[in-house]
């Protein structure tokens, strides 16, 4: 086969440093599209993004030439620098060192998108 083809979906999740609730609505509406741009520049496709004030979820279709570790390193590094530049009052913003990366079959992509969209409900705490 003279050409290469890959169809690899990965669900990524990582937190802000110390799980600080730094991803405000004002930040998220600009951060999420920015993350998509970083993913695209690396030859991958951001299928879905969302999260909570202390963490993000990305569903990414990996490109053929980049490893999971390289992609996460680049997204976290470039986005941290961008936050510091675009939001000067947020110099304390940082991502945690680790991350989760979970392979997603094509048949489960829609379910993962719903899961990402449902983060507010998923993390809601009911008190009595």
Domain boundaries defined on the chain? 9-122
Quote the radius of gyration of the chain (alpha carbons, Å): 15
Beta strand pairing call for 55-61 and 45-52: antiparallel
pLDDT at position 90, please?
94
Task: Answer whether residue 96 shows pLDDT above 50.
Answer: yes
What pLDDT is stored for residue 119 in this prediction?
78
Say yes or no to pLDDT of 26 above 50.
yes
Q: What is the pLDDT of residues 49-79, one digit of tens each?
A: 999 999 999 999 999 999 999 999 999 999 9
Q: What is the per-residue pLDDT for 125?
A: 62
- Contacts for 98 with CB less than 8 Å, ≥ 6 apart: 14
- Whether this model's pTM surpasses 0.95: no
Count of other CB atoms within 10 angstroms of residue 28 = 16
Report d(CA 94, CA 97) in Å as an integer: 9
Per-residue confidence (pLDDT) for residue 115, from 0 to 100: 93
CA angle, 108 as apex, 43 and 47 as ends, to 5°? 30
Class of domain 9-122: alpha beta
* DSSP-assigned states of every residue in 67-103: -HHHHHHHHHHHHHHHHHHH-GGGTT--B-S--EEEE
* pLDDT mean across residues, the chain: 93
How sure is the predictor about 128, in pLDDT bands with cuts at 50, 70 and 90? very low
């Amino acid at each position: 086969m003279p050409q290469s083809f890959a169809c690899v979906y990965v669900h990524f999740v990582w937190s802000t440093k110390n799980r600080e609730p730094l991803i405000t609505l004002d930040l998220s509406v600009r951060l999420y599209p920015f993350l998509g741009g970083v993913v695209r520049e690396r030859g991958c496709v951001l299928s879905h993004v969302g999260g909570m004030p202390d963490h993000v979820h990305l569903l990414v279709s990996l490109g053929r030439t980049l490893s999971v570790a390289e992609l996460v390193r680049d997204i976290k590094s470039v986005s941290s620098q961008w936050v510091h530049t675009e939001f000067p009052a947020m110099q304390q913003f940082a991502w945690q060192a680790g991350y989760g990366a979970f392979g997603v079959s094509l048949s489960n992509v829609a379910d993962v998108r719903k899961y990402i969209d449902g983060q507010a409900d998923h993390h809601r705490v009911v008190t009595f």
